[in-house]
Amino acid sequence: MRILVLGNQGYVGPVVTQYLYRLGNFEIDGLDAGLFAQCLTTIERFPEFGIRAQFFKDVRDIVADDVAGYDVIVYLAAVSNDPMGKEFVEPTYEINQAAAINVAKLAAKKNVTHFIFASSCSVYGAADGKRSELSPLNPLTAYANSKIGTEKALQDFATETFRVTCLRFATACGWSPRLRLDLVLNDFVASAIATRQIEILSDGTPWRPLIHVEDMARAIAWAIQRNNGNPFLSVNVGSDQWNFQVSDLAETVSKFIKGTKVKVNTDAPPDNRSYQVDFSLYMKLAPKYQPQVSLEEAVIGLIEGLNKLSFNDTSFRDSNLLIRLNTLRMHMKNQQINKNLRWS
């Protein structure tokens, strides 16, 4: 089975391609614009070791020949969080939505059989109680709106011979060869290591569903082989046990790093991005592909990875390597990309 992973050189991509490579029955190619290719956090082999071929191209420029001959397209490419989406609104919709729809259209014409789109539970926005796939949507940001816009459009392409699976992932966390520290759990671990303090930039009550990147890869492996049920599927991916309040995450991290103090900002404005998610449908559909990494294992993995790098940067939130928005700003400052996030 030939697989093309779009956006393979980000945070999630290397974990996905390595996971699929270890399964042993896939031929994997990668395509990426390379904006974050230099954001390496590994002292071991290059993250793309399991890929047959690496192509460098903006997903907005993909044509039919780029997807011809593949059985599966995995669409990970994205302007990948709310701060980036706020600063780069137009590219967010172009990359996360318009390009994804175009690639799906081309793939359907080129006899691709499976299209997997990395969506997000952030489409639920602010919500009381657990949100299922049948719950009302309440996207609060450009990032969330682009995800649900793509989902709605992709329904039109799904057939028995072109299966579309939209995986609404919980918030990603865990170690990656291209680590991001602009994610809540990863940020807390880095802060605890570098400063022995975790500052919660809210009152600590917002809910976040989390999922380890390895379990995201596990879900993608399931979607690649999904041949039953509705040709179009949008499903929450995560575990009911991984719905946490932000304060609980901080307290868990503090237990693993001695001397860490948790500071709650009681004067912070309310964080409207608070939601719990019901993952029972995913449990029913993919019982053999359920999340396996525990919160404690995720924290330990981050600690071990950062310690290997002798990480102690107290100003890591200013890093051009570990904070993706800063990476884009650095490229722009150096006149390497334009405001539309294209290489200049």
Give the pLDDT score at 266. Answer: 73
Q: What is the pLDDT of residues 33-44, one digit of tens each?
A: 999 999 999 988
What is the b/e burial string over 278-316, where b = at least 16 CB atoms within 10 angstroms of the residue's CB?
bbebbeebbeebbbebebeebbebbbebbeeeebebeeb
Percent over 70 (pLDDT), the chain: 98
Q: Domain extents for the chain?
A: 2-333
Q: What is the pLDDT of residues 155-208, one digit of tens each?
A: 999 999 999 999 999 999 999 999 999 999 999 999 999 999 999 877 788 888
pTM summary value: 0.96
End-to-end CA distance of the chain: 36
Give the pLDDT score at 274. Answer: 77
Where does 2-333 sit in CATH, by number?
Answer: 3.40.50.720
Is the model's pLDDT at 336 over the cut of 90? yes
Cβ neighbours of residue 231 closer than 8 Å, sequence gap 6 or more: 158, 159, 160, 162, 163, 164
